Amino acid sequence: MRHYAVTIIIVLTGSSLYANDIEELYYDLREKEIYKFSLDLFESGEYYRAITEAKRYISAFPNGRNIENAYKSVGDSYLMSREWQTAIQAYDEFLEFFPSSSDINEILFNKAICLVKEENYEAAERLFQRIVNSSEPQKKHKAILWQMLMLIHEKRFKEIEELLVDESVRQRVGQEMGMIHQTVYAKRNAAYKSPIFAGIMSGILPGSGQFYNERYKDGMFSFVFNALFISGAYLAFDHENIPLGIALTIFEAGWYTGSVYGAISGAHKHNRKIDKDIFMRSVQNFELLEYEVRRTPNLSIIFRFDF
């Protein structure tokens, strides 16, 4: 009886250990399967499905070996889907949970790009500065170029001059120094229109503000219609047709006000177009048009920065 009891105990113990090994092996395989599926979806451009799988990995394997990459994948997938605000929130979660990650600069860089797309240039510039000040070399060169571009875009020329005095900054942007100076010159000497002056001109002579804004068809249209309403109202009152004269005067008041507002708005649009053109030329000149979001051993995912 003792011999059999020992045998049974050994068999049962061995079975228990084998079951634990199977369970651990299944856990590892399942973790790898979900993570790889999420990665495959991302690389094939199915970003929303990639987000779902990455979040499933995070929920099922909170201590998994790929947990950092899963959080990063959520942010990158939202970025690639142009969900800028949601991507920012996802990157903030990564920064909260993994403050010592080796990918911090890349996360900050991608978050800054989202802020640029949201036109929150000041916040983006702060993140680029944080990358530049960090001890990690990752993304430093591109970050300082973006920082320069943000400062130029916001016409903060004095801060640019102060940065370029720093020898370490000059070394990092040595090859692009000439382009930086050219971009600053272009921005300083851009042919901006004065919205106030455009409005005053259209107030004096309807359509002239549009001509000042180089919108000649709009100017001619505004001038002709205002002239017709003014002439019509004058003739109506001259022929003692008071009701028609009042109606035409009311319509003319609307056209006149619209002409002034259109001139002011046109000047703002003209200036925004100049800023956009300078910005996009600078992005291309600094070779910032495309940047790598993620690299795997066999594939690079590229995000095109355009407007």
Q: What is the pLDDT of residue 111?
A: 95
* 248 to 84, 136, 178, 199, 241: CA distances (angstroms): 49, 70, 59, 23, 11
Domain ranges of the chain: 195-284
Distance of CA 256 to the CA centre of its chain: 38
Count how many Cα atoms sit within 13 Å of the Cα of residue 100 in the half-sphere of its side chain: 0
Confidence band (pLDDT; 50, 70, 90) for 295?
A: very low
**For residues 182 and 301, which has the higher predicted lDDT (pLDDT)?**
182
89-100 pLDDT per residue, tens = 999 999 999 999
**Number of other residues whose CB lies within 10 A of the CB of residue 101:** 15
Q: What percentage of residues in the chain have a pLDDT greater than 90?
A: 39
For the ranges 36-40, 154-158, 292-296, the lowest mean pLDDT is seen at: 292-296
Q: For position 17, what pLDDT does the model report?
A: 47
Q: What is the DSSP letter of 61?
A: -
In 3D space, the residue among 187, 173, 156, 158 whose CA is nearest the CA of residue 279 turns out to be: 187
The residue among 132, 136, 137, 135 whose CA lies nearest residue 148 is 132
Give the three-state DSSP class for 287.
coil
Retrieve residue 100's tokens.
């010592």
CA dist 139 and 207 (Å) reads 50
* pLDDT of the residue at 98: 95
Q: How many CB atoms within 10 Å of residue 3?
A: 7
